[in-house]
Chains A and B, each alone.
Chain A
Amino acid sequence: QVQLVESGGGVVQPGRSLRLSCAASGFTFSSYAMHWVRQAPGKGLEWVAVISYDGSNKYYADSVKGRFTISRDNSRDTLFLQLNSLRAEDTAVYYCARGAKAFPALFDPWGQGTLVTVSS
């Protein structure tokens, strides 16, 4: 079955960096767009970034543009999110989600999430 497993979250000081990973299995990873979506504690959902199936196109939310970088390794079926210059407001659970085949801007399914806490 389709599975997405995030890792790499933790507690980090403001201004530092972190790299999140999302290991995919159960589907042809290289055929799908992939997204990162985050959720601050007790808050709603915020789309963060998307990468096309081949990595040639990437788009970001304004709130993370210039600080976060999405990438993928199709040989390892893995999605990444590099988080630089972290701020307190980046504290959230970060989910990776697969874009739907016919509608890449839909999220289906989602991983279980990894918590990033930015605090001194």
Chain B
Amino acid sequence: EIVMTQSPATLSVSPGERATLSCRASQSISNSVAWYQQKPGQAPRLLIYGASIRATGIPARFSGSGSGTEFSLTISSLQSEDFAVYYCQQYNKWPPLTFGGGTRVEIK
């Protein structure tokens, strides 16, 4: 099973600032990583797949990068609606499909 590890667990950022979230895979997974956003009381939403491809309707301030075992999600200028929990997920070797533990982005 591929283990996905996200850091930090919590990120405190001021509105308008840049946020960078990290995700590490326990073995190489090429670019088979997706990122999801989950707001309180809501279901997750797909943001990024293929490590860097934005899903339909996702604003350009969200970008993803990385390959192999190291990946990152960057939010270039945080808006109020971006404060949420973000999860990475690998889909290179499955089953099982696995998620990272999540990074909470909170208002500083």
Give me the interface of A with B, judged by CB distance under 8 Å: 35, 44-47, 50, 59-62, 95, 100, 103, 105-113
Contacts and interface: CB of A to CB of B under 8 A. Distances in A.
24 contacts: A44-B100, A45-B89, A45-B102, A46-B99, A47-B96, A47-B98, A50-B95, A59-B94, A60-B95, A61-B96, A62-B96, A95-B44, A100-B46, A100-B49, A103-B50, A105-B91, A105-B97, A106-B46, A107-B44, A107-B46, A109-B45, A110-B43, A110-B45, A111-B43
Interface string B74-108: 00000000000001010100111111111000000
B62 interface: no
A108 B99 CA distance: 15
Interface of B: 34, 36, 38, 42-46, 49-50, 55, 87, 89, 91, 94-102
Given A50-B95, A100-B46, 20 more contacts: A44-B87, A44-B100, A45-B102, A47-B99, A50-B97, A59-B94, A61-B95, A103-B91, A105-B94, A106-B34, A107-B34, A107-B44, A107-B46, A108-B46, A108-B55, A109-B43, A109-B45, A110-B44, A110-B45, A113-B43
* Residue of A46, A47, A109, A112 with highest tally of chain B CB at under 10 A: A47
A33 to B, nearest CB: 11
Contact of A45 (B44, B46, B50, B55): B44
